[in-house]
């Protein structure tokens, strides 16, 4: 599990390979990940946007931007956490992801960026 704290917001990521949805012969490798967002600050915050960089082992790089995560823009009071799972298709068997969330401090309306730690996407048969 990869973990990073930025501005009092702790992001933990656990990636995993989804073999039953993947088809390596067709260059289709499906990876999923579970993210836990914990508000360790003294402010109530809301996740507004996500920004992902996805890099495959062949050098192909994709950028994904959008509102919220999994259709939600969760509000977290101090001490609360939000968990979600999502997925990422690759055409190569190995890759990595990292990114950021734009957060809003509900109390004063200011926004700030929270870094998502880089994490590897690889099937278990490539671990060594």
Query: 3-class secondary structure for the chain?
Result: CEEEEECCEEEEEEEEECHHHCEHHHCEEEEEEEEEEEECCCCCEEEEEEEEEEEECCCCEEEEEEECECCECCEECCCCEEEEEEEEEECCCCEEEEEEEEEEECCCCCEEEEEEEEEEECCHHHCC
pLDDT band at 123 (very low <50, low <70, confident <90, very high): confident
pLDDT band at 1 (very low <50, low <70, confident <90, very high): confident
The stretch 99-109 carries a mean pLDDT of 97
Percent of the chain with pLDDT over 70: 97
pLDDT at 127: 56
The stretch 11-39 carries a mean pLDDT of 94
The model carries a pTM of: 0.91
Mean pLDDT of the chain: 94
Q: Structurally, what CATH architecture does the domain formed by 2-126 represent?
A: Sandwich (2.60)
β-strand partners of 49: 67, 102
pLDDT at 126: 60
β-strand partners of 124: none
The stretch 54-65 carries a mean pLDDT of 95
Q: Tell me: the pLDDT tens digits for 39-54? A: 999 999 999 999 999 9
């Amino acid at each position: 599990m990869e973990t990073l704290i930025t501005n009092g917001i702790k992001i933990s990521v656990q990636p995993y390979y989804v073999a039953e949805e993947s088809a390596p012969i067709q260059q289709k490798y499906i990876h999923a990940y579970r993210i836990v967002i914990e508000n360790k600050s003294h402010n109530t915050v809301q996740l507004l946007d996500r920004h992902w960089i996805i890099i495959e082992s062949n050098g192909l790089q994709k950028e994904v931007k959008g509102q919220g995560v999994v259709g939600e823009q969760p509000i977290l009071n101090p001490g609360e956490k939000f968990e979600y799972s999502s997925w990422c298709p690759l055409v190569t068997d190995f890759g990595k992801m990292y990114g950021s969330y734009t957060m809003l401090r509900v109390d004063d309306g200011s926004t700030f960026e929270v870094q998502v730690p880089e994490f590897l996407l690889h099937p278990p048969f490539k671990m060594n």
